[in-house]
Each structure stands twice: as C-alpha cells, then as structure tokens.
C-alpha cells in the first residue's frame, strides 16, 4: 500500500524554488533541497523526480507565482503608462528590499544554464518574451490613450 504524502507539495516546491534561486542549479545539492523542503530523499524523488525535474518544476512555479505577480498589471487590458511606472517602482522596491542580493531567478538561471542547456534556454526565452509582450501591449495602449509620444517602432 502506498504511503500518503505527509507534506504540502506546493509549499515544498516553493522552498525548492527559493533554494535554487539562492544557490543556483549547480550550487544546490539534494541535501540542500531536502533540508529546505523539510522532506526526505525518498519523498523528493517519489514526488518530484530527480534534481533536474524538480528544477524545471521550480522554474514553472516561478512563472506561475513570481513572474505572474510582477507582470499581471502590465497584462491587464486597461494597463498603460501608469502600469509601466508602477512596474518599475515595484522592481526598485524589490531590489532595495532584497537583503540576500539573490537577483532575478530567471536571469540567474539564464547566465548559469542557458549556454549549454537548450530546454532551460527555451523556458527562459519564453519568460522574457512574455515580459516583452506585456510591456509592448502596455506601451501600445499608452500611446493610443495619448499618455506617451507615438514611436515608430515600440519593439525597439
């Protein structure tokens, strides 16, 4: 009979994401993960698979939580100049408040893994494209509302 998982998988995934964020993929050991997640190795492997699978799940979790919160206002159909300004104010606040100086998980991952990991490269490129698209749409709306000067090519 299979044992019932006695931990919150979403909470454990959040803790794994934080650990990868702090130490990077290469700098994070299975021991680091089990300690931060509060689970044993067997539970980690049974629930999330190997370290790479857990890392990819952590990236997806980052997209669904952190990235979503960061750009949700920009993706709103009414977003324009005010949302763009609010985004940068929020980012400055996050940077100033980040006492651990861990930086951006997506960019840290890009620097560490993208040169030699095609799957991670594609995931990070998708994240960055989503951010660019959100800004682009907000800029289009801002110019249409007359909040910003019209520019020939907003993508540049």
Model pLDDT for residues 102-121, shown as the tens digit of each residue: 889 999 999 999 999 999 99
- Within a domain: 156: no
**Per-residue pLDDT reduced to its tens digit, 2-43:** 555 688 999 999 999 999 999 999 999 999 999 999 999 999
- Within a domain: 139: yes
- Within a domain: 150: no
**For residues 89 and 54, is the Cβ–Cβ distance under 8 A?**
no
**For residues 58 and 20, is the Cβ–Cβ distance under 8 A?**
yes
Q: Which two tokens stand for residue 11?
A: 């909470």
Q: Which two tokens stand for residue 131?
A: 């951010």
Q: What pTM does this model have?
A: 0.86
**Nearest in space to 63 (alpha carbons), one of 1, 24, 13:** 13
The interaxial angle of helices 118-144 and 105-113, nearest 10 deg, is: 140
What's the count of helices (H) and strands (E) in the chain, helices before strands? 8, 0
Q: What is the CATH number of the domain that holds 99?
A: 1.10.357.10
Which one-letter DSSP state was computed for residue 147? S
- Within a domain: 98: yes
pLDDT category of residue 84 using cuts at 50, 70 and 90? very high
- Within a domain: 3: no
- Answer whether residue 1 shows pLDDT above 50: no
- Within a domain: 64: yes
Residue matched to tokens 């910003």: 148
Q: Which two tokens stand for residue 62?
A: 């980052």
Q: State the total domains in the chain.
A: 1
- Within a domain: 70: yes
What's the rounded mean pLDDT across residues 63-69? 93
**For residues 53 and 44, is the Cβ–Cβ distance under 8 A?**
no
What's the rounded mean pLDDT across residues 59-76? 93
Cα torsion angle, 16, 21, 24, 28, sign: negative
Instruction: Write out the residue range of the structural domain in which residue 57 sits.
Output: 9-144
- Within a domain: 151: no
**For residues 84 and 139, is the Cβ–Cβ distance under 8 A?**
yes
């Amino acid at each position: 009979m299979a044992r019932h998982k006695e931990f919150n998988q979403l909470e454990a995934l959040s803790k794994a994401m934080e650990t990868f964020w702090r130490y990077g993929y290469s700098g994070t050991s299975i021991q680091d993960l089990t300690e931060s997640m509060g689970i044993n190795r067997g539970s980690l492997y049974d629930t999330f698979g190997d370290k790479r699978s857990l890392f990819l799940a952590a990236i997806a979790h980052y997209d669904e939580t952190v990235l979503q919160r960061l750009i949700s206002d920009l993706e709103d159909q009414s977003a324009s100049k005010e949302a763009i300004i609010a985004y940068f104010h929020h980012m400055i606040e996050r940077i100033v408040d980040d006492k651990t100086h861990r930086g951006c998980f997506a960019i840290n991952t890009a620097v560490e893994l993208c040169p030699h990991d095609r799957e991670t490269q594609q995931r990070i490129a998708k994240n960055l494209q989503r951010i660019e698209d959100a800004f682009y749409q907000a800029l289009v709306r801002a110019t249409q509302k007359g909040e910003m000067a019209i520019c020939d090519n907003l993508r540049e």
